[in-house]
Amino acid sequence: MGRRTAVLYYDCDREADRIADSGEEMPSFLYWLKDRNPLFEGEPYINHSWTPDDDNPDNSGPYKRPDSVDVNVINAKYRVYRDGLAYKGRPIMWFIGNHYCCMTGVGERRFSFKVLHDFMFSQAVDIPDFLDEAKSVYISEDMNMYKNLIMVGGLENLRPVQVFVYVHHSFFKKAKGARRTYFQGYNVPETFKMEDYSVLPPMDDFRRTIFWTPSVKTDKNGRATVEFYNNSTCREMYISAECITDDGCALSN
């Protein structure tokens, strides 16, 4: 889906293999993306979760929830944040495998939105932590692309950029120090090329054609007539005939 209107594409598998081959430490996905493209602005990781232990680690005495907690959260249910990464000064709507994830970099803009259907929002998943967890990234600046995936109104003035992240679906957590390398199991489709079959290869053509017609019948003299057609490039044609009689005898010329 993200490829249709994408203006930028990143092959994360190729870059992860290059980093692993060089012995470097695998970078976090968002920091790698920001370093790769200076058009990304803001801090990649913002912690919007808060628990009493953060304010009172010893659990001694009563605690008070800070007034500043989650001030950058516009909508927790739909993961809409004022901070986080933006692109060219525009908010980013993140999609993981064509499923809505979150929207970051909204800033101090005042707006309201209306969710018309919750289904796609209920499929929300998280952004990969490390580069080798991602397969590819497509960046689309089409302001209406998100409408093909989620039903929401009121975001037109935000002009969000859509970032599509495609990940590897692994059922097992990677062991520490282990490396995963992925190989494509199919060929990328290429443009069809019409061969010029009038140009013969520089060798004799010894192709053999089998003509099977069990309904051929002989006349009273034991003869049958069969017609064969050759193409325009044929210089000689050899015909061999074999048959089986009604009483089971094999005959050939």
1 part of a folded domain? no
Query: Residue 99's closest CA among 136, 150, 138, 145?
Result: 150
Domain contains 206: no
DSSP output for 200-227:
--SS----------TT----TTS-----
User: Tell me: the pLDDT tens digits for 77-132?
Assistant: 778 888 889 999 999 999 998 888 888 988 887 777 777 566 656 666 788 889 98
> C-alpha angle with apex 86: 82 to 89, nearest 5 degrees?
100
Give the per-residue pLDDT at 136.
93
Q: Which residues contact 102 (CB under 8 A, 6 or more apart)?
A: 79, 80, 81, 84, 93, 94, 124, 127
The residue-averaged pLDDT of 222-238 equals 77
The token pair that represents 180 in the structure block? 């995963």
Between CA 228 and CA 239 the distance in angstroms is: 9
Q: In the chain, count H helices and then E strands.
A: 4, 13
Instruction: Supply the range of the domain harboring residue 104.
Output: 6-167
Percent of the chain whose predicted confidence (pLDDT) is above 90: 20
The answer to whether residue 140 is domain-embedded is yes
103 versus 243: the higher-pLDDT residue is 103
Question: How far is C-alpha 148 from the geometric centre of its chain's CA atoms?
Answer: 17
Q: Examine residue 238 and state whether it is found in any structural domain, yes or no.
A: no
Is the pLDDT score of 39 beyond 90? yes
The number of domains in the chain is 1
Amino acid 119 reads F
pLDDT band at 29 (very low <50, low <70, confident <90, very high): very high
- Evaluate whether residue 192 is within a structural domain: no
- C-beta neighbour count of 165 within 10 angstroms: 25
Does any domain span residue 231?
Answer: no
Least confident range of 7-21, 143-157, 167-181, 217-231: 167-181
Task: Tell me the pLDDT tens digit for each residue of 51-75.
Answer: 444 444 444 444 444 454 556 777 7
Q: Does residue 253 sit within a domain? A: no
Residue 186 lies in a domain: no
